Structure formats: C-alpha cells, structure tokens
Structure 1
C-alpha cells in the first residue's frame, strides 16, 4: 500500500506544470549587460541600463522646486527594420515632455490661419476687442 501511495505521489509531481510561459525558450532570454543604479537618498539619482538586444536607458534625477524628483534621460529600443528608436525626455514640475522623430506632431497651420493669428495678436496689442 505504501508503495502505491508513493508511486502516485511521484507521478503527480512529475506531471506538475514547470511554470514556464508558453512559447518561451532559453534562447528567448535577453542578457542584461549593464544595470547601474545610484541613489543619493535625497531624491537625486543616476540610472543606466543596457540589454544585449540593444535596449538602453539612462536617467538622471534631481530635487525639484516643490520637493519632487525631476528626471531627464534617454531610452533606445530596436525597431522592426533593424534601426533604433531614440526618445529623450524630461519629467519635472511642468509635466512629462518627450522628443523623438517617432512621436507624431500636428500638421503645420496653413498660411491664412497664421495670418489670422498675427492680425488678432496685433489687434489685442492695440486694445481692440470684439
């Protein structure tokens, strides 16, 4: 009887899931080349990260005017065509602002709209109100 129970336990353990995500193989893991973090403890810090697949980030934090931690940095990631995207950003008391050629921008205003805005500003300066 003990052998039967032991056999059932061994069978149950060998059939247990191996806790690996579906489709993920050992070759799918990306090596971390750099992970350097320096925290001064007062809201200022430095952070540098780089992975073997080309993903990189560097970030610097400093004390903000209202006690918050302001940040600025850059991150890179590979695109499907083999090139790399670069995004530069600043996060401070004025919000998060990112710059990259990949971020869509609004179309420029047509010339007649620019002229209307100029006329309205000129009228405002001269005190004309409607």
Structure 2
C-alpha cells in the first residue's frame, strides 16, 4: 500500500505543470518605490530583459491623481520602443515616435473631390432656377 501511495504521489508531482521555468525567469535589476503619506508616489523598475519603467504622481483633487512617466523596451523585431505619457485632468496623453499620427488639418483636398463639389453646386443652382438636372 505504501508503494502504491508513493508512486501515485510521484506521478502527481511529475505531472504537475512547471510554474517557473528557468528559461522564462527575468530578474528584476532595480525596483525603487516611494509612497508618501499625502498620496505622492514615484517608482522606477528595470528588468533583465531591458524593460525600464519610470512613473511619478501626486493627488490633484478629490481622489484624482495626476501622473507622468515613461516606459521602454526592445520589440521582437529589434525596434526600440519608448513611450512617454501624462495622465491628468485632460486624460491619458501618450507620446511616442511609434504611435500613428493623424494627417494635419486642413489637409490638401484632391482635385477630383473639388470637381465633384463644383458639379454638385452647379446642379443645385440649376435646380434652384427650375432647370432639369442631368445626373451623369
């Protein structure tokens, strides 16, 4: 009976998933945290795989906290990713060269669009004069 129990226990131990695989282990190189009694905070973290995070914040009103910071890492394709941000009464405001940027407005209007607008205006003027408008 003891032998059966031992083998059953061994089977459960060897069959259990490995929670920490040494290949997945990333050491924390730096972890500096400051939390003040008035709600101000600051932290800086750096990991062995190149992730660096820095953030600080302070209360601004009725439980709201304004914070600012940045994080950086190297993407799998080798691109260095750096994102700086501010989060305050104006919302989350990220800044990075890698974020998409909307075209500046007013942007140039293509000629075919200007032509369509002119045609629509001519047709509207013709209708206002009571003329029959031929749509092409």
Give the TM-score category using the shorter length.
0.7 to 0.9
Q: Which has the higher contact order (CA 8 A, sep 6+)?
A: 1
Query: Does 28-37 or 12-21 show the bigger shift?
Result: 12-21
1:111 aligned partner = 108
Q: What residue is the counterpart of 1:84 in the other structure?
A: 80
Q: How many angstroms does 1:82 deviate by? A: 2.3
Structure 2 counterpart of 1:39, from 31, 35, 39: 35
- Listed one character per residue, the Cα deviations across residues 71-90 of structure 1 (whole Å, up to 9, x for unaligned) are 10010011123232000001
Which residue of the other structure, out of 5, 8, 24, is the alignment partner of 1:9? Answer: 5
Q: If you compute each CA radius of gyration, which structure gives the higher value, 1 or 2?
A: 2
Stretches of structure 2 lacking an aligned partner (at least 5 in a row): 111-136
Does the alignment pair 1:19 with 2:17? Answer: yes
TM-score with structure 1 setting the length: 0.73
Shift of 1:96: 0.7
Query: May I ask how many residue pairs the two structures share in their alignment?
Result: 107
Q: Per the alignment, in what secondary structure is the counterpart of residue 15 of structure 1?
A: helix
Distance 1:64 1:97 in 2: 17
Supply the distance in 2 between the matched residues of 1:44 and 1:107 (Cα, whole angstroms).
38
| Counterparts of 1:104 and 1:66, CA distance in 2 | 34
Task: Output one character per residue of 1:38-73: Cα deviation in whole Å (capped at 9) or x when no partner.
Answer: 000222101000001110000011121444121100
Aligned to 2:94: 98
RMSD of Structure 2 on Structure 1 (CA)? 2.0
Q: TM-score, normalised by structure 2?
A: 0.70
Aligned to 1:55: 51
Cα distance in 2 for partners of 1:112, 1:82 equals 37
Structure 1 stretches of 4+ with a deviation exceeding 6 A read: none
